[in-house]
């Protein structure tokens, strides 16, 4: 199976589950695009911005979690999608925690985030090597260059986490900048 679809002979509950996951993934992304646009265009810190940001967070959390959660169960070409889903979840959650945590404080979440981001970098490097050494020049149909974004995004994220941990938190402009680049 390369797509999330139940076969004609599969039970009805499998069709319902596959269809529900697909609808949740697509709807989450669509709602996230609209609510993210509203959050970006609204006055920062005001009720509309916070409401749109919350809708964005929840909808994208659903879209990313479904995408990352389903990818390992599909047969072909899913290492790229799984890694992308984990990177997206990491960025979304760390952006949310940035504005939820009190200014100038840091906790275990940032340490865990640093480890996740570092793992994404390592996975990207391994996948690049596997693709480069494969006779087809690809891994799961993706060339080594497809994994550059994971290495770069993960490295920037890990560096930001380490910076925040060493400074024992962020405040002011640095805190808002962290939130924005991870959300966008």
Euclidean distance between CA atoms 49 and 72, whole angstroms: 35
Give the H/E segment covering residue 25: helix 12-41
Q: What is the pLDDT of residue 1?
A: 45
Q: Are 83 and 150 in contact (CB under 8 A)?
A: yes
What tokens were used for 38?
């509203």
Name, in order, each residue with C-beta under 8 angstroms of 46's C-beta and a sequence gap of 6 or more.
none
* pLDDT tens sequence across 2-29: 566 667 788 888 878 888 898 999 999 9
Strand spans (E) along the chain: none
Tally: H helices and E strands in the chain: 6, 0
Euclidean distance between CA atoms 16 and 24, whole angstroms: 12
Low-confidence ranges of the chain (pLDDT < 70): 1-6, 75-77
The pTM of this model reads 0.86
Q: What is the pLDDT of residue 18?
A: 83
């Amino acid at each position: 199976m390369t797509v999330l679809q139940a076969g004609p002979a599969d039970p009805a509950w499998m069709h319902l589950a596959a269809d529900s996951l697909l609808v949740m993934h697509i709807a989450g992304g669509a709602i996230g695009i609209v609510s993210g646009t509203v959050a970006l265009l609204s006055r920062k810190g005001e009720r509309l911005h916070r409401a749109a940001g919350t809708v964005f967070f929840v909808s994208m959390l659903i879209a990313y979690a479904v995408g990352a959660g389903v990818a390992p169960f599909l047969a072909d070409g899913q290492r790229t999608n799984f890694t992308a889903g984990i990177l997206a979840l990491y960025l979304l959650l760390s952006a949310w925690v940035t504005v939820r945590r009190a200014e100038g404080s840091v906790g275990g979440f940032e340490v865990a985030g640093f480890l996740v981001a570092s793992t994404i970098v390592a996975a990207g490097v391994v996948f690049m090597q596997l693709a480069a050494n494969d006779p087809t020049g690809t891994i799961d149909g993706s060339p080594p260059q497809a994994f550059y974004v994971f290495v770069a995004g993960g490295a920037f994220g890990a560096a930001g986490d380490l910076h925040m941990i060493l400074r024992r938190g962020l405040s002011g402009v640095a805190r808002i900048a962290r939130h924005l680049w991870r959300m966008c």
